[in-house]
Amino acid sequence: MKSIHIAFVATSLLSSIVYAGEPIIDMAPSMAPEPVVDGFAQARRPISNPTLFDLALPTTNVHPIYIHHALPNHIETTAGRLPLGGDVDVYALQFEIALNDRLSVVASKDGYVDMNPDNTLSDENGFGNLGAGLKYAFLLDPVSRTAVSGTFGLELPTGNTDVFQGEGKGAANLSVSALKLIDDWQFAGGAGLQIPFSDSQSTSSWMSTHVSYEVSPWFIPLVELNWFHVLDAGDGSTTAVSSIVEFEGGDYFNLGASNADQNRDLVTAAFGFRSRLCDSVDAGIAYEIPLTSEDTSLMESRLTVDFVWKF
């Protein structure tokens, strides 16, 4: 009987050890690595003011753009209110190459310009100036989904003077941009200076803001505001137009207008949406109108269509 009792006790102890060990094994933390989540995967590029207002993230991408720019029916000049009308079409291709997570090379301006005014000016076409520079992200936090970057760029006078390009000695573009993602919302902003290397062009500042909400990957509505302000007017020596118009050209055109201090500000609003066609490609469209008087700018309205291919 004593041997049977000892065997029973040994068996009971062994069973206790086996069953007691199971929960310890089940509760042990997994050693498998957690998947890496890209906090900026939903980030989308602004559409309006495309040569100056950029996404704060350094990425590698190709960015084809088409702009249909309607000219105002009349413009204010020192010779009175002159008829204009017609439109301008711009076909451009921007690109960016990320050298690392924080630094990238950006090609910000190029393109072919086709001008077709109805009155006063003649039909002209030609290439735009070339602009490029470096972008560096001072703050890049995918956990809080926040980024802040600065860009230094140069615009070279390589374009055709018939389409208000190729004048002066070029310019430096300095800007700061910021990005914040909150759930499906995106908030972005940018500000900068355009500083020419000669008096024949105007010195200007700009500010842009962007708000969008991802209803679905196919429909991401957005609203953007842009403000261009002339700090120092040009000397009006480039063309006959620059000597009489009382405003500047906004983002793409620097007229060098000697009377631009008469109407220093151009404010525009853009409404549109983006569609994420796949993880690496999205498309956008925006309709833009001036909030200041259209007679004191080159804009009656603008339609911008673009694609962004990231790789």
Segments making up each domain of the chain, as ranges: 61-310
Q: What is the pTM of this model?
A: 0.86
pLDDT at 105: 98
Structure tokens given for 164: 């208000």
Phi first, then psi: what are they for 183, rounded to 5°?
Answer: 55, -120
pLDDT at 31: 52
Q: Exposure string (b/e) for 143-166, b if CB count within 10 Å is 16 or more?
A: eebbbbbebebbbebebbebbbbb
CB count in 10 Å sphere of residue 15: 10
Query: Measured between alpha carbons, how far is 298 from 304 in angstroms, rounded to an integer?
Result: 16
Token pair 């439109």 is at which residue?
87
pLDDT at 38: 77
pLDDT at 21: 45
DSSP 3-state helix, strand, coil percentages of the chain (rounded to 5)?
15, 50, 40
**Of 193, 212, 189, 192, whose CA–CA distance to 201 is shortest?**
193
pLDDT at 198: 94
pLDDT at 15: 45
Which ranges in the chain belong to alpha helices (H)?
2-27, 240-244
Q: Mean pLDDT of residues grouped by 10 in the chain (311 residues)? A: 43 41 46 61 96 97 98 95 97 97 97 96 96 98 97 97 94 98 98 96 97 97 98 91 94 94 97 96 98 95 97 92
Phi first, then psi: what are they for 26, rounded to 5°?
Answer: -65, -35
Q: Which helix (H) or strand (E) holds 141?
A: strand 130-141
Letter for the amino acid at 41?
A
User: Residue 146 contacts by C-beta under 8 Å, 6 or more apart in sequence?
Assistant: 139, 178, 179, 180, 181
User: Residue 273 contacts by C-beta under 8 Å, 6 or more apart in sequence?
Assistant: 212, 219, 220, 221, 222, 284, 285
The CATH class of 61-310 is: mainly beta
- Distances from the Cα of 248 to the Cαs of 14, 93, 232, 282, in angstroms? 90, 24, 11, 32
pLDDT at 9: 40
